[in-house]
Structure 1
Amino acid sequence: MKNPAWPIAALLVGYPVWWALGFGGLSVVVLAVPMAVILWRRRPIRLPYGAGLWALLLAGYLISSLALAESPPGTYGGLGTGRLIGYGMRFVLYAALFVVVLYLGNLTEKELPQLRLIRMLGVLFIWTVAGGLLGVLFPKFAYTSPVEMLLPSWIADNSFVQNLIHPTAAQTQRVLGYSLPRPEAPYEWANAWGSNLSVLLVWFVVGWWVYGGRRRKAVAAILIALAAIPVVYSLNRGLWIGLGLAALYLVIRVGGRTRLTVCALAATAAAAFVLSPLAPLVSQRLDNPHSNDIRAFTVSATIRAAAHSPVIGFGNTRNATGNHRTITTGKTDWCAECGHPPLGSDGQLWLLLITQGVTGAALYVAFFAGAIRRHRRDRSPVGLAGVLVMALVLLYMFVYDGLVTPLSLYLISFALLWRNPT
């Protein structure tokens, strides 16, 4: 019988192939099918603490479909194909990710050793760094994927679907007064790249540095140094804050020689960065917080809209009437940046508020906060890393959407904590 860990290896190690084919984040849905079949054959199925919360999140999402046709004040649009596609895809992704967690938790240590899983995440970190460098060096790289060619236009042209199936190296955005590419390969958008890199870096350090020999440590040092280039060019303040808090977390949680090592490495990295040509770019980005007004508008509009269905939400996002610059909708000759910002697009917390109300947001927070509470005393490398990732999840929910690939990595990290003997 083939090793039952093969779907996980296909998902993590083989992710660039999925991305190149146009599946990208949807690969988790494809691979959840054989995982579900294998799980069914291996009954009874073990459940982690917190499984009930995720099950309730799924049930609440089904209930939220009752409000799909509603348009709260300050929004526009009716129940169309796009809204139904977005709703259906999100539900399938939430369900598929739950299957992945159950699958990982029901594999034995012999079938999938913990360190092997961590090093698979480390391989994906390498792919992420490579994709980031691709976005910096060849930002215009993009092509029509095989999946995109096969899908009917009424599906492929949906903006949510298009981000998942159309491989691009970078998002070009006007940030510092001029257009700049922000790396996103091999993920669906630039913020997903930033979130994923920070989570994968945590597990890369565990698998390649903490449990690595001299050769692995040397390779790890080189790769982390290379990662600094796309990290800076991503112009991603959320990522920078996350990395800073991760370093602070390690200094506080570890002790003895390890703490001295972490401090020495952090000081060396900071000095090298300040002396590098990348430092001025960070300074310019911090002096030009162009997205603050946009985020303030969409977050406040999301909260106002969600207040009209606070318990079950509206099932999917809604388009706001106007934007932070004008009450008119759509681009004009005098406002090229005007458009229809979707509510819930600036963080998983806001997405949950508009789609599932306060109930969905509370269940999501309880799921990850519960993992922190249960494992906060685990001082093993996996325990420290897993709790750190759970904390990053709660931080990033204010600025990053979890779907699609970030949430996959959040839940795989949750499964690593569940599998960790304490």
Structure 2
Amino acid sequence: APPGRSPSGRPRPGRPAMIVDLPREGRTSARPLSSVPEPAAGTPGRPLPAWPLYALFAIYPVWWALGMTSIIWALAAAPMAWLLMRKRRIQVPPGFGIWVLFLVWAVAGAASLGLVAPGTMPNSGGFLGFAQRIVLYTAATVMFLYIGNLTEERMPLRRLARLLGLLGIMTVIGGVAGILFPEVSFVSPVEMLLPKSMTSSKWVEDMVHPGLAQVQDVVGASNARPKAPFEYTNIWGNNLVVLMVWVFVGWWATGSRGAKWAVALLAVVAAIPTVYSLNRAMWLGIVIAVLYVAFRLMLQGRLFVLGVLALGLIVGMLVFALSPLSTMVKARAENGHSDNIRSTLALRSVEAAASSPVLGYGSGRALRGSPSSIAIGRTPTCEQCGNSTVGSTGQLWLLLISNGFVGTALFFGFFLHSLWRYRHDRTAYGIGGSLVVLLSFWFSTAYTSAGSPLSLTFVSLALLWRSDQARRQREIG
């Protein structure tokens, strides 16, 4: 059967996207998109401009150099929110209410900030971290709605995929630079403007002090783990996998033969910082991505493309096995130095959710002691000592302690609904968008996502949403 149709040839049932009319006098209404005429230029409902997306993605290294990597997502969402409010008629996808309910639940968690979670330090639930997370959740939501309300004329799907892919290319370049020049870092203009009382905080310094790599002792020696143009190596790894999905969609699936060769070369280059990042969750994320794409191609009967993918994978594995990179992977597998603390923090998150299953505790908490010692401070002989933060080792664990079982179910319920809703989209955009959403579940066990990872996931979901709209319009036509 054609995509979106049943074996009998009839269109599959599905609720159309809705238009929400922002009220002028307290009245709100919602109508199917197909029933709303296209507004004339110059009216409050005129098409949205695409420049906020170009300003965010096309010059992203500039924002990184200015020390604005952690705040640019919220700043970019501000003009988008203003333009959406002026539009008055805002299109929202089916299931969006689940996400709105999660946002309400997350805000309500402020009532629990003063409580003490099991096994954590008193007074360690700070309002600043809570507020930052709510702002970043809201910024990702605004981007999602903004892109979903852009017309194909203002921002074609292919151009948006390539805009994300452009940031992916920048991320590969940043990764290679981090391997070659790991010690390079500098004081950003934002850092210069902040008072010393703020920049003395390691958390603030990480956000405003640009650097090419994190130099850490992971496999028994100092290792350069790339992070540019983001704040941390883990964020770099998460984002690189997501952005490379759109490199393949934008240039491989819809590009010329020359573009395909360029993508293949980029993937080879990206393999070097990928291995040197010593990021195991990232490595497994790549495996998940390859298997998922192979599965989707198999369902479509595209055996030739599947064969090319398998051949390329075999050749890549042989080259990798004969290169020095294989030694790095083996050494990382034998040195799971963070496994102990990760398992301890995950257990504390589950205990916290069990003790406050409805609202949680509003934010993460400082662990009382550590897996290695009940002492508080680190020492040269006990690097694992100290008050690590419960909820810092993955979005799943952060949600459990911050928002309880209910909030966690709402967060992931929205993405599960989206995967099911768009499962019939067999286009490159449909496969790519659903893959990013699927990867967000895996990465949530190892990385926190508030900030660039969540925003990129929502941008990808907006691509998936718009691709589904186009598919349904083709079926109607």
Percent identity of the aligned residues? 44
Q: Read off the aligned partner of 1:169 and give its amino acid letter.
A: L
Matched, 1:31 2:80: no
Within-5 A mapping of 1:314-393: 314-393=361-440
In structure 1, the partner of 2:152 is 109
| Equivalent pairs, count | 420
In structure 2, the partner of 1:130 is 173
Q: How far apart in 2 are the matches of 1:415 and 1:154?
A: 40
Of 402, 405, 414, 2:461 maps to 414
Of 236, 244, 264, 1:193 maps to 236
- TM-score, with structure 1 as normaliser: 0.96
Deviation at 1:19, TM superposition (A): 0.9
Structure 1's unaligned 5+ residue stretches are none
Deviates more, 1:4-13 or 1:49-58: 49-58
Matched, 1:267 2:314: yes
Query: Structure 1 residues 3 and 100, CA, compared in 2 at 3 Å: closer, same or farther?
Result: closer
Q: Read off the aligned partner of 2:337 and give its amino acid letter.
A: H
CA distances 1:67-105 after superposition (whole Å, capped 9, x unpaired): 11112231114268xx12111111111111111001001
Q: How far apart in 1 are the matches of 2:58 and 2:273?
A: 21
Deviation at 1:355, TM superposition (A): 1.1
Of 304, 307, 323, 1:257 maps to 304
Q: How far apart in 1 are the matches of 2:201 and 2:408?
A: 26
Calculate the aligned-residue CA RMSD, in Å.
1.6
Q: How far apart in 2 are the matches of 1:306 and 1:323?
A: 20
In structure 2, the partner of 1:278 is 325
Deviates more, 1:7-16 or 1:194-203: 7-16
Deviates more, 1:307-316 or 1:106-115: 307-316
Deviation at 1:332, TM superposition (A): 2.8
Deviation at 1:307, TM superposition (A): 2.4
Matched, 1:55 2:100: yes
Q: How far apart in 2 are the matches of 1:156 and 1:364?
A: 32
The answer to whether the 8 A contact 2:124-2:366 is kept is no
Deviation at 1:324, TM superposition (A): 1.5
Of 237, 261, 282, 2:280 maps to 237
Q: How far apart in 2 are the matches of 1:241 and 1:262?
A: 18
Deviation at 1:158, TM superposition (A): 4.1
Matched, 1:74 2:136: no
SS in 2 for 1:173: strand
Q: How far apart in 2 are the matches of 1:77 and 1:172?
A: 32
The answer to whether the 8 A contact 1:86-1:160 is kept is no
Deviation at 1:224, TM superposition (A): 1.0
Deviation at 1:49, TM superposition (A): 2.1
Structure 2's unaligned 5+ residue stretches are 1-41, 472-477
The answer to whether the 8 A contact 2:171-2:228 is kept is yes
Q: Read off the aligned partner of 1:338 and give its amino acid letter.
A: C
Deviation at 1:308, TM superposition (A): 2.3
SS in 2 for 1:75: coil
The answer to whether the 8 A contact 1:250-1:262 is kept is no
Query: Structure 1 residues 92 and 158, CA, compared in 2 at 3 Å: closer, same or farther?
Result: farther
In structure 1, the partner of 2:27 is none
Q: How far apart in 1 are the matches of 2:296 and 2:69?
A: 35
Deviates more, 1:318-327 or 1:248-257: 248-257
Q: How far apart in 1 are the matches of 2:366 and 2:285?
A: 29
Matched, 1:309 2:356: yes
Q: How far apart in 1 are the matches of 2:322 and 2:280?
A: 20
Query: Structure 1 residues 306 and 154, CA, compared in 2 at 3 Å: closer, same or farther?
Result: farther
Q: Read off the aligned partner of 1:343 and give its amino acid letter.
A: V
Deviation at 1:365, TM superposition (A): 0.8
In structure 1, the partner of 2:336 is 289
Q: How far apart in 1 are the matches of 2:438 and 2:291?
A: 12
Q: Read off the aligned partner of 1:359 and give its amino acid letter.
A: V
Q: Read off the aligned partner of 1:370 and give its amino acid letter.
A: H
SS in 1 for 2:439: helix
CA distances 1:13-52 after superposition (whole Å, capped 9, x unpaired): 2111111111103111111111111111112100122321
The answer to whether the 8 A contact 2:111-2:362 is kept is yes
CA distances 1:297-349 after superposition (whole Å, capped 9, x unpaired): 11112222332222111111110011111111111353244221100011101
Matched, 1:396 2:443: yes
In structure 1, the partner of 2:207 is 164
CA distances 1:167-190 after superposition (whole Å, capped 9, x unpaired): 121112221122212111111111
The structure 1 segments of at least 4 consecutive aligned residues displaced by more than 6 Å after TM superposition are none
CA distances 1:127-186 after superposition (whole Å, capped 9, x unpaired): 100111111111111112111221234444444433222212111222112221211111
Of 116, 125, 128, 1:85 maps to 128
Q: Which has the higher helix share?
A: 1
The answer to whether the 8 A contact 1:22-1:167 is kept is yes
Of 22, 43, 47, 2:67 maps to 22
Deviation at 1:416, TM superposition (A): 0.5
Deviates more, 1:300-309 or 1:113-122: 300-309
Q: Read off the aligned partner of 2:431 and give its amino acid letter.
A: L
- TM-score, with structure 2 as normaliser: 0.85
SS in 2 for 1:334: coil
Q: Read off the aligned partner of 2:251 and give its amino acid letter.
A: W
Matched, 1:139 2:182: yes
Query: Structure 1 residues 336 and 347, CA, compared in 2 at 3 Å: closer, same or farther?
Result: closer
